[in-house]
Amino acid sequence: MGNNFEMKTVVDPTDTTSKENKIQLLNLTMGMSYNFAADSLNFSDLRLTYRTQISDIFDFSGSSSFTPYDYAGNISRINKFLVSEGKGLLRMTNFNFTVGTSISGDRLTSEETGEDLPPTNEIDEFGLGSADRNVYQGIYTDLDPDFNVPWDISLTYNYNLSRPTPELETKFSNLSGSLNFNLTPKWKFSVTGSYDIENDEFAAPQIRVSRDLHCWIMNFMWNPIGTYSGFRVEIRVKAPQLQDLKLTKQDQFYNTR
């Protein structure tokens, strides 16, 4: 079951250019299933998902799970409802949410038309759009950087609370960010990193420098510290169907210190 909560702005009768705008406040879905084949614990957890956007700045999304069943010795789930044991209607088993924001500079414009240039990773010289090229992208292959966006900054906060049983609880709290900017129209510098708030630890940052070589692209990626420190230099053809046509040099080692 899904619901959209929206609001509309009122048209100004004194302004002929005024239009009615629809603003989405909250997208909420709720679901629960029943397994007729099971001999016990037929009901699944109740799952809620929610998402909202605050202006064009913040994006908030999350989900929660609840079980209707009681536990024996707070360890194993049993075929008794919490409400019948006088312990309430539901018990939360998981809660998580993500808050993200990003800002960027204006897209570079064409000197001839004054219009925004298309992203460099959308249409290539082979006539492939980004959707086509994503088909060829491997799970370890990064998308080409967009040199037409002069700079962008993003921040994301993730929180997760898991309670599979009343006695077992784990928390995850992480703040991550990235900064990308053009050194020149053909050079882009990127740095990413994260901070584990729960364990008070910084994750190893990754530094990336990219150079647009027309039909080719060069990427230099460096993990200066951390468990998987090292570097990787790659020069490859942009066309994803020719992604195996590349030169690679890397030096990575596993460091447990």
For residues 225 and 204, the answer to whether their CB atoms sit within 8 Å is yes
- Asked whether residue 36 is domain-assigned, the answer is yes
pLDDT-derived band of residue 246, with 50, 70 and 90 as boundaries?
Answer: confident
Rounded Cα distance, 112 and 106, in Å: 17
Beta carbons within 8 Å of 118's beta carbon, 6+ residues apart: 148
- Asked whether residue 80 is domain-assigned, the answer is yes
- Asked whether residue 1 is domain-assigned, the answer is yes
- Asked whether residue 73 is domain-assigned, the answer is yes
pLDDT > 80? residue 184: yes
- Which residues constitute the domain of residue 42? 1-11+18-104
pLDDT of residue 253: 55
pLDDT > 90? residue 239: no
- Asked whether residue 225 is domain-assigned, the answer is no
pLDDT of residue 118: 52
Residue 150 tokens, joined: 């002069």
**What value does the mean pLDDT take over residues 48-56?**
86
pLDDT > 80? residue 134: no
pLDDT > 70? residue 174: yes
Rounded Cα distance, 207 and 204, in Å: 10
Q: How many domains does the chain have?
A: 1
pLDDT-derived band of residue 117, with 50, 70 and 90 as boundaries?
Answer: low
pLDDT-derived band of residue 214, with 50, 70 and 90 as boundaries?
Answer: confident
pLDDT > 80? residue 7: no
- Asked whether residue 255 is domain-assigned, the answer is no
For residues 51 and 27, the answer to whether their CB atoms sit within 8 Å is yes
Q: By C-alpha distance, which of 216, 215, 203, 210 is closest to 233?
A: 210
Higher pLDDT pick, 253 / 70: 70
The lowest-confidence range among 77-81, 137-141, 155-159, 193-197 is 137-141
Q: By C-alpha distance, which of 1, 8, 12 is closest to 24?
A: 8
Average pLDDT of every residue of the chain: 81
Residue 200 tokens, joined: 């008070």
pLDDT of residue 23: 73
Rounded Cα distance, 179 and 152, in Å: 6
Rounded Cα distance, 176 and 196, in Å: 9
How much is the pTM?
A: 0.71
> For the chain, what is the largest distance between any 2 Cα atoms, rounded to a whole number of angstroms?
74
Higher pLDDT pick, 23 / 236: 236
One-letter amino acid for residue 10 of the chain: V
**What value does the mean pLDDT take over residues 100-125?**
60
Q: What angle do CA 111, 114, 115 make, to 5 degrees?
A: 120
Q: By C-alpha distance, which of 196, 190, 236, 191 is closest to 217?
A: 236
